[in-house]
Amino acid sequence: QITYGPFDPVLSDKIRFPSLYQVAPRISSLPRMMVQLMVHFGWTWVGLVVSDDMRGESFLLNVTGEMVRNGVCAAFTEKIPSGKFNTYKILHFYARIMASSTNVIAAYGDAEFLNLLRAVIEWFGLSKMVLITTYHWDFTLSMMHEANNNHFHGTLTMANFAKEVPGFRDFLRTIRPAKYPDSIILKKFWESAFDCAFSFSEIYGRKCSENASLEMLPMHYFSLTMSAPSYSVYNAVYAVAHGFQELLLSRSDRSQEEDPAEFHEFLRNVQFVNPAGQLVILDENRRSSAKFDILNFVIFPNGTGEFVKVGEVDPQATPNQDVTRHGSTLTVIVLCLGKVQAPQSRCSRSCGPGFRKRAQQGEAFCCYFCVQCPEGEISNETDAEQCVKCPEDQYPNIARDGCLHKVVTFLSPKEPLGLILVCTSLSFCLLTALILGVFIKYRDTPIVRANNRNLSYTLLISLKLCFLCALIFIGQPTPASCLLRQTAFGVVFTVAVSSILAKTVIVVLAFRATSLGSNIRGWVGTRTSTSIVLSCSLVQVLICVIWLGTAPPFPEMNTHSEPGLIIIECNEGSVTAFYCVLGYLGSLALVSFTVAFLVRKLPDSFNEAKFITFGMLVFCSVWASFLPAYQSTKGKATVAAEIFSILTSSAGVLSCIFIPKCYVILVQPDRNTRECLKRK
């Protein structure tokens, strides 16, 4: 036996039906393909109507599982039992549909079970809804009873894939009863379809025309397009013909009677390509999942209706290509529904880029709120589940729907701040060089000799290097500049502060040496000052060597300090070592300040202890303010704060200690004489 009707899983039981073949392809993939059609058009809020039987229950179970996997929700689920329906049931079913906000209904079942849905559609129209059905429900039969029925206008039908048979339309156009005079069935159909008679009859009032053609009939009477069930009949006839051909070719005696069991063996192995070019296999176990045609039911302005193929659904295709358009699917649907844009069916409006979905408590997962992405995150797709962070080298735009590339920045000498700092550093460096020149020129004067001119030279040179150290902090950090920045700053400043400390100690020793019977006179000399400077500086050098040997500074890209910027800066490597350098330098400064403060009033004509006191007060104040500023600023501001501290502290020491001496040397030279010194 060969059945050409819709595929029935029950008939696949080979124990009960060992010799039964179904030409129609399997529909196990139908639920998945129907859901893929919903996903293709963005319909995530769909009503389900199925027949109240085993087939409907199986379809409902499969389709709801596919809907959940693809993010589609059931707005409502209705099971329709077979039988007659009264007005109350129709109104109740209509109220159930209208209470939902869905614009799409997916129906599964045959005409007998879906009569209630047909009645609701015919009574109330439901023209705003898209109906998705299968070819099992031939709703065109209802149009036989109602003229110009356009209630099913725009319906999408999932039909078994059928190729157009070559010459079929041309054959139908040439059919005439006169061409087949012996066909009684054709004459009966002709009289019924054209409302005429070939001979006199009281039923029909006119005689059939010899020039009438089947293409003149409305679609609900006859269509020139071969339907999916008819295509199955077509393949079934060819399958039987191929089976008989193989059976006859295998026999030596053609007159032998056919044995059904023998014929069954040939049918099981039937495999051929039909005239439409499609491979036909009767054995279900060797058949792949069926492809489906998407048919759009269109009623044209002249009242005729027709199924128009608008696409295909292929379960074997890749996920992005499982729904293909035939012509312009979307245009056809818009045309059928009379809308400017494609119909939408969603529980909630789409969340555009820059927003994410947040579920509504107690509602289906398709019903949600739209909330904007938090700061620092974006979503660049519609209906995003979660917002994501931008890559390290990018940052979110204002709308939070995309990432912008961060600007790479550092303290450049070309920008105003960097240029000012460079000019300031060079200016102070030049000023220090001039003061050094003055001290060298007037090295034999009392004021220069009384203040230990060698220490003055050392201090001026170290201050000049301090001003030049600021230049290392300006510009794009490199591995070399990062290594030199803090270490050079630490060592040079230590030499400067050590020189100041040595000056202060020499003042104390010089005062002590003037006392009667003092043995300290031998300590007042270059040996003591040199020892102080070298020993104090070597400790700082040792700290820097340990720092560079364990965790040296290195350049890095800071992507988090400031939004929209990638700051190239030096990572200190070891923060502990950095603060050890600053701590040691601060300790020397405090000792120098304390000693200078204690001896500031010693009677001496050129006692510079009070000037050192002011200088170290400025120095300590600047670096005490630097620490909180260093911790609170970020990016280029941190580097600028350290450069400012370097320049300010060095300028304070230079101004307090050397400017008064230069004033005496250059403006009041009469005070810088031995006679003046003796008078004092």
Whole-number CA gyration radius for the chain: 50
Same domain for 436 and 397 = no
pLDDT (tens digit per residue) in 65-95: 999 888 888 888 888 887 777 777 788 888 8
Q: How high is the pLDDT of residue 338?
A: 45
Q: Which of 647, 532, 650, 534 is nearest to 591 (CA)?
A: 532
CA atoms within 13 A on the CB side of 587: 10
Same domain for 232 and 115 = yes
Same domain for 381 and 431 = no
| Residue 541 confidence class, pLDDT cut points 50, 70, 90 | very high
Judge whether 434 lies within some domain.
Answer: yes
Same domain for 385 and 299 = no
Rounded Cα distance, 554 and 552, in Å: 7
Residue 36 has pLDDT above 50, yes or no: yes
Q: How high is the pLDDT of residue 511?
A: 65
Judge whether 202 lies within some domain.
Answer: no
Q: How many degrees, rounded to 5, is the angle at CA 482 between CA 479 and CA 484? A: 110
Q: DSSP assignment of 473-511, as one string?
A: TSSS--HHHHHHHHHHHHHHHHHHHHHHHHHHHHHHHHH
For the chain, how many structural domains are there in total?
3
Q: Which of 77, 27, 28, 73 is nearest to 49 (CA)?
A: 77
Q: How many degrees, rounded to 5, is the angle at CA 32 between CA 381 and CA 126? A: 80
Of 405, 433, 464, the position where a domain reaches its end is 405
Rounded Cα distance, 185 and 201, in Å: 18
CB 612 within 8 A of CB 620: no
Residue 308 has pLDDT above 50, yes or no: yes
H helix or E strand, kind and range, residue 108: strand 104-108
Query: Which DSSP category does 165 fall into?
Result: P
Same domain for 427 and 570 = yes
Residue 668 burial class via C-beta count within 10 angstroms: exposed 0-12, middle 13-18, buried 19 and up: exposed
Judge whether 195 lies within some domain.
Answer: no
Q: What is the largest CA-CA distance in the chain?
A: 164
pLDDT (tens digit per residue) in 92-135: 888 888 888 888 889 888 777 777 887 787 777 766 678 888 87
Rounded Cα distance, 216 and 406, in Å: 69
Whole-model pTM over 0.75: no
Q: Structural domain of residue 382, as residue ranges?
A: 355-405
Same domain for 482 and 430 = yes
Share of the chain above pLDDT 70, in %: 84
pLDDT (tens digit per residue) in 380-429: 888 888 999 988 888 898 889 888 888 888 888 888 988 999 999 999 99
Interacting residues of 663 by C-beta distance below 8 A, sequence separation 6+ = none
Provide the CATH number for the domain around residue 520. Answer: 1.20.1070.10
Question: Considering only 129-138, 310-319, 418-427, 548-557, which range has the smallest mean pLDDT?
Answer: 310-319
Same domain for 481 and 384 = no
Residue 289 has pLDDT above 70, yes or no: no
Q: How high is the pLDDT of residue 520?
A: 52
Residue 559 burial class via C-beta count within 10 angstroms: exposed 0-12, middle 13-18, buried 19 and up: middle
Rounded Cα distance, 287 and 5, in Å: 17
Judge whether 648 lies within some domain.
Answer: yes
Of 341, 372, 405, the position where a domain reaches its end is 405
Measured over the CA atoms of residue 551, residue 555, residue 559 and residue 562, the dihedral's sign is: positive
CB 152 within 8 A of CB 121: yes
| Residue 335 confidence class, pLDDT cut points 50, 70, 90 | very low
Judge whether 39 lies within some domain.
Answer: yes
3-class SS letters over 110-127:
CCCCCHHHHHHHHHHCCC
| Residue 303 confidence class, pLDDT cut points 50, 70, 90 | low
Provide the CATH number for the domain around residue 287. Answer: 3.40.50.2300
pLDDT (tens digit per residue) in 217-248: 776 667 777 777 788 889 889 988 988 888 88
CB 257 within 8 A of CB 272: no
Same domain for 575 and 450 = yes
Give the CA-trace dihedral at 226, 230, 234, 237, to 10 degrees: -160
pLDDT (tens digit per residue) in 173-224: 888 888 888 888 888 888 888 888 877 665 666 788 777 888 887 766 677 7
Judge whether 75 lies within some domain.
Answer: yes
Same domain for 428 and 376 = no
Judge whether 191 lies within some domain.
Answer: no
Cα-flanking dihedrals φ and ψ of residue 647, to 5°?
-70, -40
Between 510 and 378, the more confident residue is 378
Same domain for 523 and 442 = yes
| Residue 434 confidence class, pLDDT cut points 50, 70, 90 | very high
| Mean of per-residue pLDDT scores for the chain | 80
Same domain for 546 and 583 = yes
Rounded Cα distance, 649 and 59, in Å: 84
Judge whether 466 lies within some domain.
Answer: yes
Residue 463 has pLDDT above 70, yes or no: yes
Whole-Å CA distances, 172 to 180, 225, 624, 634: 13, 10, 102, 84
Q: Which of 31, 8, 42 is nearest to 107 (CA)?
A: 31
Residue 542 has pLDDT above 90, yes or no: yes
CB 626 within 8 A of CB 593: no
Same domain for 462 and 400 = no
